[in-house]
Amino acid sequence: MRVDLNADLGESFGRYRLGLDEEVMNYITSANVAAGWHAGDPLVMRRTVRLAKEKGVAVGVHPGYPDLMGFGRRYMRLTPEEARNYILYQVGALYAFVRAEGLELQHVKPHGALYNALVREEELARAVIEGIADFDRKLIFVTLANSPPAELAEEMGVRVAHEAFADRAYNPDGTLVPRGKPGAVIEDPTEVVQRAVSMVKDGGVRAINGEWIDLRVDTICLHGDNPHAVEIARAVRRALEEEGVRVVPMGEFL
């Protein structure tokens, strides 16, 4: 049994620091690095890629809407042409630093509002997947487990990582509870660890109303901006390994 642990990193910008990248990087196997549109800048991007190289962590791109002010969490209506080229632009930007550090790019995971919009809008999802394929069809597309974008990418011949969130509450339909609602973000480390283990071992999770949801889980996201991020990342990895789960980069088994 294998699973990848990923985190959204490189989200500092200029003088502003966000997240606990160096500490969290010790426990994950894949890093989603911001490409400068919702967060990050050239210095942060290179520093984060270099840190991943030092820690032996696989690198992926974390592209979002062009929305620094809103941290990419505000919905934007895009044409398919815009979406496709916005993705290609950001993948290419981070790839420059990946190439400079002698690494390979592993995956692409859309950020924030864009990530959620893909679940609802097939045309947008298709354009994003086309943008990934334009750069390299071997890249892994990371998206919400059991979601329409995952099925679409598989139909289009692009590798998919089904992603679960141990620190986020789920609706009964398998979507994430919006951050603005009570209970959407789970901060209790013990509960997060229990959910992560259940996702992998039992193949699912309890929704916010108590219903059981079956999930295919290839990778689990651990948010680096959670107040207990380091504690949670350390505990999740230890618990999974104690249960006999191999924690390895998604590229090793997808």
Type of residue found at 92: G
DSSP 108: E
Burial (CB < 10 A; 0-12, 13-18, 19+), residue 97, is buried
Q: How far is residue 229's CA from residue 185's CA, in Å, rounded to a whole number? A: 12
Once rounded to an integer, what is the mean pLDDT over residues 17-40? 95
Write the pLDDT tens digit of every residue in 80-99. Answer: 999 999 999 999 999 999 99
CATH code reported for the domain at 2-252? 3.20.20.370
Structure tokens at 212: 């059981």
Provide the residue ranges of all domains of the chain, joining segments of one domain with +: 2-252
Write the pLDDT tens digit of every residue in 31-53. Answer: 999 999 999 999 999 999 999 99
Phi, psi dihedrals of residue 91, rounded to the nearest 5°:
-60, -45
Residue 179 pLDDT class (50, 70, 90 cuts): confident
Bridge partners of residue 204, in order along the sequence: 214
